[in-house]
Amino acid sequence: MPPASASDAELWIANTVADLIQGDINEHLPLERIPLQGDVLGLGTTTSFDNGELTFLRNPSGNTTIWKCQASDAGIRPLHPGEGSSHFPYVCFSGDVSDQKVLVDPAELAPQAGRPLQELVDEAIMLLRAQGRLPAAPIYGLRLELEWQSLVITVASKLCMGQQRRNAAIATSASGDGTASRSIYDLLQHYRLAEADPGDPEDPIRYLGRSLHWDCCGFYDTEPSSGRVTVPQNDDHLHLHGCSIDLRHGGHLHHGHPGTRLKAVRRFAIYPLQKLHWLASDLAIENLRYTSGSAVFDVFNHGAMDVSDVGVAVVIDDRYSDHRYLRLPWLAAGGGERFSLPLDLPQGQHRLEVIADPQRQILETVAAQRNNRASLDLVIA
């Protein structure tokens, strides 16, 4: 994890947007592990039982505050370390990048009104690169102060935005095909801000009011298809969260929506983020032994993410049909728990196998899954 004073233009990614949109996520990063000293860029989503979006904004002290944008009404509230209830299934964040900031003169981006925001960001990056003021980077962090003629925002209202997407890896269904064909943003709660209420009773987008001046933070990914910090589509480079300057509303800026129309860019800063780091969980079964009629073993999480709802299967003599099953409600990063499971084994040779996450609900790489199981051959005299 980065120290609070990190300023070396690094970005930590806890899971990815590609992971998030495939379905439920059981990995979480606590707020306490995110540095907030100085200018820290970031965005993310909150847990499935308390849905919403995360926006990282500068505060008057010169440090960073994470604002939670609520799905129910697009209202916002600041999050504070130590509250004990903030665990994020997807979040990405930098260290203090104060000395990496490259300012953009909004006047150089004229005209602005009505132009797609991603087009303006494209232009700003190319302009600064041509001027030799901005080094190449895989991901650029962004801070913008924007005024809108109208704005549509979305707020995550359910993290399982299509478990069918994950099912599609092994099977197909009519509902899965229907969900997969829709944009991820179609599945979220939408809100509209504009000078006046459109007054259309058939409009499914709820009108919030005239809060059209926004403070925003986000990222521009040069390889959007990777799904690191943006939706994994070739043309979706920009992912931006924000809060209205009057601190009434917040959420994901649906900058590509037909109902979104830019008025002006008031402030614009770009930060080249050179080094990317992935945070993940890493379950392991260790110290398996059979003693005094019981199988004894340890379940560890050697990764950097807390995990919830972890299953552990104990299989005797390869008979999966009558395996024993344990479930851990929570296993913190770096934590572990020892189990002793009584087994009435008859005389003869036996094989014990203990498997963490046998259903593969936890997001681990293939390499990280190698320590998820342990086996033991024994003879009962």
Could you read off the pLDDT of 243-288 as tens digits, one per residue? 999 999 999 999 999 999 999 999 999 999 999 999 999 999 999 9
311 bridge partner residues: 327
CA distance 152 to 282: 38
Q: How confident is the model at residue 110 (pLDDT cuts 50, 70, 90)?
A: confident
Token pair 């919403």 is found at: 52
pLDDT at residue 158, as a whole number = 57
242 bridge partner residues: 216, 251
Q: How confident is the model at residue 200 (pLDDT cuts 50, 70, 90)?
A: confident
This prediction has a pTM of 0.89
- Beta-strand runs (E) in 71-128: 76-79, 87-88, 90-96, 102-103
Cβ–Cβ < 8 Å for 273, 134: no
Q: Is the pLDDT of residue 50 over 50?
A: yes
CA distance 229 to 211: 27
Q: Is the pLDDT of residue 135 over 90?
A: yes
pLDDT at residue 220, as a whole number = 98
CA distance 330 to 28: 10
Query: Which domains does the chain carry?
Result: 10-278 (3.30.1330.80), 281-380 (2.60.40.10)
Q: What is the mean pLDDT of residues 149-174?
A: 64
Q: How confident is the model at residue 187 (pLDDT cuts 50, 70, 90)?
A: low
Q: What is the mean pLDDT of residues 102-124?
A: 96
Q: Is the pLDDT of residue 326 over 80?
A: yes
